[in-house]
Amino acid sequence: MKLAYWMYAGPAHIGTLRIASSFKNVHAIMHAPLGDDYFNVMRSMLERERDYTPVTASVVDRNVLARGSQEKVVDNIVRKDKEEKPDLIVLTPTCTSSILQEDLHNFVERAQMDSKGDVILADVNHYRANELQAADRTLDQIVQFYLEKARKKGEIGEGKTEKPSVNIIGISTLGFHNQHDGTELKRLMNDLGIEVNEIIPEGASVHNLKNLPRAWFNLVPYREIGLITARYLEQEFDMPYIDISPMGVVETARCLRKIQQVLNAQGAEVDYEEYINNQTLYVSQAAWFSRSIDCQNLTGKKAVVFGDNTHAAAMTKILAREMGIHVVLAGTYCKYDADWFKEQVSEYCDQILISEDNGEIGDAIARIEPSAIFGTQMERHVGKRLNIPCGVIAAPIHIQDFPIGYKPFLGYEGTNQIADLVYNSFTLGMEDHLLEIFGGHDTKEVIHKGISADSDLNWNKEAKAELNKVPGFVRGKVKRNTEKFARERGISEITLEVMYAAKESVGA
Amino acid sequence: MTATQAPQALDFECETGNYHTFCPISCVAWLYQKIEDSFFLVIGTKTCGYFLQNAMGVMIFAEPRYAMAELEEGDISAQLNDYEELKRLCLQIKRDRNPSVIVWIGTCTTEIIKMDLEGLAPKLEAEIGIPIVTARANGLDYAFTQGEDTVLAAMVHKCPKQAPVVEEEKQERNAIQKLLHFGRKQEDVAAQESEYVDHPPLVLFGSMPDPVVTNLTLELKKQGIKVSGWLPAKRYTELPVIEEGYYVAGVNPFLSRTATTLMRRRKCKLIGAPFPIGPDGTRAWIEKICSVFSIEPKGLEEREAQIWASLEDYVKLLRGKSVFFMGDNLLEISLARFLIRCGMSCPEIGIPYMDKRYQKAELDLLAKTCQEMGVPAPKIIEKPDNYNQIQRIYELKPDLVITGMAHANPMEARGINTKWSVEFTFAQIHGFTNARDVLELATRPLRRNNNLKELGWEKLVKEEAKI
């Protein structure tokens, strides 16, 4: 047992559901107790989804515990097949169902006989994999399933596309700024004259998976999701893949040069140097920002970076290499892939922290006292408590990290967005600092003159105590309204009754 | 319809139970805030933790007095000793937080691997010197608010059986308090006692925010009824005395296990009343308590009328409209009854679990309200099937659907007004004073959409899914 207050990566089934519901017309059925379908709430709220999340539960209740699921799971799969006509149903085990040790494989086989769509069982161990590992695994499983199916039918897309083309692998629902990154990568490929063959899983149809081998190469923008699939495609179809995240100016250039190399090896004869140069110096603002006096002021400032592998590694490099900021500590919660992280960042920071314990990171931040933090929502809250500004760079994230406006982290527009994020975090901290030195805003009194809370009314003890129970952010309003109510009625002492009467009167 | 006609019988149905609701472990989120000296330890997996962390949003960052005892593979396969593991964690909690009680929340996993929490608790309690309360708030058996029911039912056993101090000592304690409070308390207490009618002790059960506790206590005081205690109290150490023969009354519709436990294990008399939600419910609740104590209620009719008058601007928006409850928190019957009294019609009330005995008075009031308002009695669907419900919603086209967040945005995108049901659980909705807050919530989608109606932006999905 482990005492835990918070976790960075979710349980395995969340990863499977993220992949399944990223595809078009794929339905996931969770073998889970009531209340485990919380994924639907997250997707509906965070992504502000207009459509129903294609995830339902085959509920494990007391009866299932006593007698086994028997026909229940099969019935639920067949029913969903009829109702929604999905191309694929993914039966998703949860931590509960994995200890029940029911033969879910058998259920899937039986359900397949009566279903028009395909049915598979997500092959994920709940006690060994987390959300990210499970997502990586499930994507690979679905891709393999359809490529093998196509191979049997002889339907695998023949040969390569005429022009150089790419599969972008790993863009998924509930991923940090994934939607915007997907769009930015498409633009980037378009600029380079590379056709986008398929983007998976987000928005993809399983029917198109058989076309994957037609692309000239695969691009895996995120370290966490897509690598297993890319390796499978390399092994089976001899497709090269590129796993350099194009995040930051230098890394984007590195990614493009690698693409150039991969394409030229297949006879494309492309040269992206001029494009890279032009983008770096004149189009993207990030290189110019690094040179400007704004950024000069950031030189040597201390920062702490924490997040998933992709974003924490890329941010560390950007801060240290492109902006001259002193990254005291860089860390990741992707413990299972820690070696990669260490190798990526070791020359760009003083210390490396690999941990899933938010307390440990909080303590490290408090000890280091950086001028800014780049982390997850958890680090943002640590920052709030310590009065250190924080830019959010990785999941876990809240609704404000699903912006409506265009905010990629990848590609050249991504470099602009990151520059803003970094600069805003630091200047806010600076502003705060100056305010403290000069004793706060000198305009405070003027602003508050009109809405002074001073009053001639007497609050009795109970009422005062009651008022103090009102949450801080509305207390002032309750106080003013109650006093207004009392004044209008010529009441001089405010009691509990007066408070309630004020609340009951319209408009209070 | 003549007044003599018996109310139309309510129609009960039961569906498949494929519906969305919160896991009952969510009760820790409001109970740890209510019981200030408690610590809630949820013994479960990452799935439970992930749910709490996301469902409770920002509260998680306020140094919560709850944590997960996250089970690992070794715990599942019994390679690790449950007792030793729990002891290690509870000692850590004792050291870091020193709570007056540790509440263990059993989950689906502890059920399946049959971890004997009830058996382990007394042993460990004796060893570490902190009371341990065990509640099985799991998704195999319960939905959402029923979690609170399991915790309170377990706490009943920890309530003192008789007043711990004899009269003389009490005086002495008061004397100390008198010193501390510069002599005010004594006169206040004496003065207050005389305001009450002589009636057997009454204990209320159900976790309420403190302002609501004060408010409802005050409403009863106006009738001369004294509330001897409240389960739960602000602190675990202040749990009310419950002696045989005490009267108890519930304030929330999902507390049937607690009610049963109070009746069977502590020999209390349950006052079966509608719940104090809405001015009609609050009045009926007080009247029923009064009638049990043979008290003639004073001024309730005027009070109710006055509240209704102050609600008129909101009621105006609701009158003649229809509301559909998909069902997820067991407040549905009471809310539907109040909204029908506001002039709405209600074709369907979905509800996770329907205890017809505990909710009898509420159901009777619902039937009566429907008759008096001249609307058909709603269908009550226990263990609803969300998919079927959505089809019925498309057919019925209700003006308002009260539903979970999983369905709210997709419905809004299809031009259906929705209100997120969970807000009713967390908002203050009890008593006369808070009736306005209920309607504030219920009318919000209607008011918002009134503001936007000129824009022609009702349907924001391209093609309607073919069903």
Nearest Cβ partner for A504 among B22, B141, B432: B432
d(CA A209, CA A207): 6
The mean of the pLDDT values for chain A is 91
d(CA B143, CA A37): 12
d(CA B223, CA B195): 9
Which A residues 60-99 touch B at CB under 8 Å?
60-62, 65, 76, 83-84, 94-96, 99
Q: What is this model's ipTM?
A: 0.89
Q: What is the pLDDT of residue B7?
A: 65
Give the pLDDT confidence of A391-446 residue by residue, as tens digits.
999 998 888 899 999 999 999 999 999 999 999 888 766 676 677 666 665 544 44
| Inter-chain CB proximity B72 and A1 less than 8 Å | yes
Give the pLDDT confidence of B140-198 residue by residue, as tens digits.
999 999 999 999 999 999 999 987 665 544 444 455 444 555 545 555 555 556 789 99
Nearest Cβ partner for A50 among B75, B88, B413: B413
Nearest Cβ partner for B53 among A7, A37, A83: A7
Does residue A284 surpass a pLDDT of 50? yes
Alpha helices by DSSP H, listed for A157-284, are 178-191, 227-237, 249-265, 273-278
Q: How far apart are the first and last CA of chain B?
A: 39
Residues 6+ apart with CB under 8 A from B428: B209, B211, B212, B434, B437
Residue B239 DSSP class? P
| Inter-chain CB proximity A33 and B17 less than 8 Å | no
Q: Which residues of A touch B18 (CB under 8 A)?
A: 56-57, 59, 76
Side-chain half-sphere exposure of A102, counting CA atoms within 13 A: 28
Judged by a CB distance cut-off of 8 A, whether residue B53 touches chain A is: yes
Residue B146's nearest CA partner among B60, B272, B22 is B22
Element (H, E) at B51: helix B46-55
Nearest Cβ partner for B53 among A6, A61, A127: A6
Phi-psi region of A354 (alpha: psi -120 to 50; beta: other; left: phi over 0): beta
CB atoms within 10 A of CB B96: 11
Q: What is the pLDDT of residue A188?
A: 97
Q: Which of A103, A271, A294, A350 is catalytic?
A: A294
Q: What is the pLDDT of residue A447?
A: 40
* Whether residue A123 lies in the annotated active site: no
| Inter-chain CB proximity B139 and A33 less than 8 Å | yes
Q: Which residues of chain B have pLDDT under 50?
A: 1-3, 168-173, 176-178, 183, 466-467
Q: Are strands A2-4 and B66-70 parallel, antiparallel or unpaired?
A: antiparallel
| Inter-chain CB proximity B140 and A65 less than 8 Å | yes
Does residue A457 surpass a pLDDT of 50? yes
Residue type, B398: P
Burial group, residue B8, by CB count within 10 angstroms (0-12, 13-18, 19+): middle
pTM: 0.89
Q: What is the pLDDT of residue B5?
A: 56
- Residues A130-152: what's their mean pLDDT? 97
Phi-psi region of A140 (alpha: psi -120 to 50; beta: other; left: phi over 0): alpha
Chain A residue at shortest CA distance from B81:
A1
Q: What share of chain A is helix, strand, coil (3-state, %, to 5)?
A: 55, 15, 30
| Inter-chain CB proximity B67 and A466 less than 8 Å | no
Q: What is the pLDDT of residue B57?
A: 65
Nearest Cβ partner for B18 among A14, A57, A128: A57
Q: What is the pLDDT of residue B467?
A: 44
Residue B68's nearest CA partner among A496, A447, A357, A207 is A357
Interface test with B, best of A6, A31, A34, A53 (most B CBs within 10 A): A34
- Residues A73-98: what's their mean pLDDT? 95
Which A residues 31-60 touch B at CB under 8 Å?
32-38, 40-42, 44-45, 48-53, 56-57, 59-60
Task: Report the DSSP beta bridge partners of residue A11.
Answer: A130
Element (H, E) at B69: strand B66-70
Residues 6+ apart with CB under 8 A from A57: A29, A30, A31, A32, A34, A36, A37, B18
| Inter-chain CB proximity B433 and A503 less than 8 Å | yes
Judged by a CB distance cut-off of 8 A, whether residue B270 touches chain A is: no
Q: Which residues of A touch B93 (CB under 8 A)?
A: 3
Q: What is the pLDDT of residue A475?
A: 79
Distance (Å) from the alpha carbon of A462 to chain B's nearest alpha carbon = 10
Task: Report the DSSP beta bridge partners of residue A392.
Answer: A375
Strand order in the sheet with B379-382: B11-14, B379-382, B345-351, B322-325, B400-403, B418-420
Q: Using 50, 70 and 90 to split pLDDT, how confident is the model at A253? A: very high
Judged by a CB distance cut-off of 8 A, whether residue A15 touches chain B is: no
Q: Using 50, 70 and 90 to split pLDDT, how confident is the model at A448? A: very low
Judged by a CB distance cut-off of 8 A, whether residue A5 touches chain B is: yes
Does residue A239 surpass a pLDDT of 90? yes
**Could you please report the per-residue DSSP string of A16-56?**
HHHHHHHSBTEEEEEEE-TT-THHHHHHHHHS--SSPPSEE
Residue A210 DSSP class? G
Q: Which residues of A touch B413 (CB under 8 A)?
A: 50-51
Element (H, E) at A132: helix A131-153
**Cis peptide leading into A201, omega within 30 of 0?**
yes
User: Where is average pLDDT lowest: A17-31, A487-501, B318-332?
Assistant: A487-501
Strand ranges for A61-101 from DSSP E: 88-93
Give the pLDDT confidence of A188-197 residue by residue, as tens digits.
999 999 999 9
Q: Distances in Å between the alpha carbon of A122 and those of A73, A88, A93, A199, B290?
A: 14, 12, 7, 21, 59
Task: Report the number of secondary-structure helices (H) and strands (E) in chain A.
Answer: 23, 16
Give the pLDDT confidence of B279-289 residue by residue, as tens digits.
999 999 999 99
Q: What is the pLDDT of residue A446?
A: 42
Which residue is listed with tokens 């990171």? A361
Which A residues 372-401 touch B at CB under 8 Å?
378, 381, 396, 398
Does residue A70 surpass a pLDDT of 90? no
